[in-house]
Structure formats: C-alpha cells, structure tokens
Amino acid sequence: MAVSVFGELLITAGLVLGLFVVYSLWWTNVVADREAHKQGDKVRDGWAQDKGGPGALDTKAGIGFLHVPSMKNGEVLVEKGTSTKVLNDGVAGYYTDPVKSSLPMTGKDGNFTLAAHRDGHGAKFHNIDKVRKGDAIVFETKDKWYVYKAYAILPETSKFNVKVLQSVPQQSGKKKPGQYITLTTCTPVYTSRYRYVVWGELERVEKVDSDRTPPKELR
C-alpha cells in the first residue's frame, strides 16, 4: 500500500513539474509576446502621429526596436530598465543600474547596454549564441537606423561582472571611447548562473526615409 501511494505521489509530482515547465517555457512566451506586440504598436503609432519628437530619448511605451538577424528573433522593443517587471513583457531593456547606459540618440560616445531574457517571457535573446563577429546589430528609432557590427563575444562571465557595461568596455578589447552596444543575457540555457555578452561597435547611421526602408543588413 505504501509503495502504491508513493508511486502515485511521484506521478502527481511529475505532472505538476511538467505543467510548470510548459508554463515557464511556453505560456510565458505567449503572454509576453502579446504584450510586446501591443507596446510596439503603441510606439509605431506614436511615431506615425509624430509624437515624441525626432530621436525622442524616452517614451512610456519604448524608445525603439532592436534587430539582430543572426538571432532570428524578429524586432525587439527596447524599453527603459532591466528589472524583471520590464523584461517579463517580452522586451529588451537598457541599463539604468548599476552602470547607466548611454543612448545612441545622443550622438555621444558611450555604451548602449541591453538585457533580455534567454528563456521564457519572450526569450528575445535565446539565440544570442548564434551571433558571430561581424554580424549586424541594428537599432531602429523614429528617424534613424543605427548599424553596429559585433566584434567581441564573452560566452560566460559572472552575473556580478559590471565591467562589461562600462562606457569603454575594456574586457572586449577596446581602450578608447567610441559608440558601442552591449547585449547581455543569462547562460547556460535554462539557468541564470552566468551571463553571456556580445559587444558591437557603431559602423554607420542612416536616416529613416518615408517608406522606412531598412538598412541592407535587414533586407
């Protein structure tokens, strides 16, 4: 009898665990993608109505869209902050703490530092390991396309390593100020033990035309 009851408990526990995995890795993606699309539509509607002004640094819904073709994740809305509350909506967030991100719209040297989930809640950086040196990283704003080129990758580092976010990311090999972008997410897959980092450097800026024709890297 005891063995039978124990076996039933194990089966029940297995079912509960299975449902939790489905919720964590599938349903949270569905919910997050819906919210991200809704927020993204608000941003584009605002642009179409000429709200926020050219290169608006901060809007309630988001500041622009990240495009990384090698990740095959479509466009990713970028919002302010990297808290769980922000990232769980299926977006990427720019750091405000512990090191404040530079924003490309200012035109100043600095490091545009971003984070997004790798699994669950949209998993926008799930394929970050597919990014290779030389790959394009494009940030889209209302009036400009910022085209970066990936130049360095750190497959694993401590989650407490804030040096990767510095204005001049020396761990990437850079020694002088420039206009950089840094993508960060959890690693290994399905854990949050370490961080995976990709660095890029601004290659050029293109003005958005009336048709919003994307740069050649996105065609």
Place of tokens 């293109």: 206
Phi and psi torsions of 80, nearest 5°? -80, 130
Q: What percent of the chain has pLDDT over 90?
A: 77
| pLDDT tens-digit series, residues 47-100 | 888 765 545 555 667 999 999 999 999 999 999 999 999 999 999 999 999 999
Strand, coil or helix: 170: helix
Across-strand partners of 140?
65, 145
Residue of 103, 123, 186, 197 marked active site? 186
Q: What is the average pLDDT score of the chain?
A: 88
Q: Residues 197, 153: contact at Cβ < 8 Å?
A: yes
Which residues of 75-123 form beta strands (DSSP E)? 75-80, 92-94, 110-115
- What distance in Å separates the CA atoms of residue 199 and residue 210, rounded to the nearest whole number? 31
Least confident of 23-32, 101-110, 145-154, 190-199: 23-32
- Which CATH number covers residue 160? 2.40.260.10
Supply the range of the domain harboring residue 24.
Answer: 2-218
User: What is residue 14's predicted lDDT score, i.e. its pLDDT?
Assistant: 43
DSSP state of 101: P
Pairing of strands 136-140, 64-67: antiparallel
User: What is residue 18's predicted lDDT score, i.e. its pLDDT?
Assistant: 41
Handedness of CA 74, 107, 195, 33 (dihedral sign): negative
User: What is residue 83's predicted lDDT score, i.e. its pLDDT?
Assistant: 95
- What distance in Å separates the CA atoms of residue 183 and residue 164, rounded to the nearest whole number? 10
Q: Is 124 exposed, middle or buried (0-12, 13-18, 19+ CB in 10 A)?
A: buried
In the annotation, is 133 catalytic? no
pLDDT of 6 strictly over 50: no
- What distance in Å separates the CA atoms of residue 143 and residue 7, rounded to the nearest whole number? 62
Place of tokens 């600095």: 110
* Count of domains observed in the chain: 1
| pLDDT tens-digit series, residues 116-136 | 999 999 999 999 999 999 999
pTM above 0.85, yes or no: yes
Least confident of 20-24, 41-45, 158-162: 20-24
16: pLDDT confidence band, cut at 50, 70 and 90?
very low
User: What is residue 53's predicted lDDT score, i.e. its pLDDT?
Assistant: 53
For 175-214, b where at least 16 C-beta lie within 10 A, e where not — what string?
A: eeeebbbbbbbbbeeeeeebbbbbbbbbbeeeebeeeeeb
